[in-house]
């Protein structure tokens, strides 16, 4: 969800370099949508709720896998957001 926020906010912000309101609002809404989708998926897919919401040590591999997949998605989306932002910042002449 933070990767989605970065992917929307940073390139939109560096389009002008001054206005943060609309990029922040749109990024926050997108982040909320991703959060709702993730929570609904966890509650609707059989087995995910037990594996991801449990504190049982038996489910540690599943939770670690979810953590590393989330970390990889965050890293990729943030790198893409950074690259888009660099291109837009270079076009912007502050």
pTM here is 0.83
DSSP annotation of 47 reads: T
Q: Which tens digits make up the pLDDT trace of 14-67?
A: 888 788 899 999 999 999 999 999 999 999 998 888 888 888 899 999 999 999
| Mean pLDDT in residue range 74-92 | 93
Which of these, 86, 81, 49, lies nearest to 66 by C-alpha position?
49
Say what the pLDDT of residue 57 is.
92
Domain membership of residue 65 as a residue range: 2-91
Domain count, the chain: 1
Burial class (CB in 10 A: 0-12, 13-18, 19+), 44: exposed
Categorize the per-residue pLDDT at 94 as very low, low, confident or very high, splitting at 50, 70 and 90: low
């Amino acid at each position: 969800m933070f990767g989605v926020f970065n992917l929307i906010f940073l390139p939109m912000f560096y389009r002008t370099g001054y206005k943060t309101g609309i990029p922040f609002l749109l990024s926050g809404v997108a982040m909320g949508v991703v959060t709702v989708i993730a929570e609904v998926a966890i509650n609707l897919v059989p087995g995910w709720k037990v594996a991801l919401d449990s504190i049982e040590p038996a489910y540690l591999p599943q939770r670690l896998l979810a953590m590393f997949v989330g970390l990889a998605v965050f890293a990729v989306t943030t790198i893409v957001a950074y690259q888009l932002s660099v291109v837009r910042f270079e076009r912007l002449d502050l």
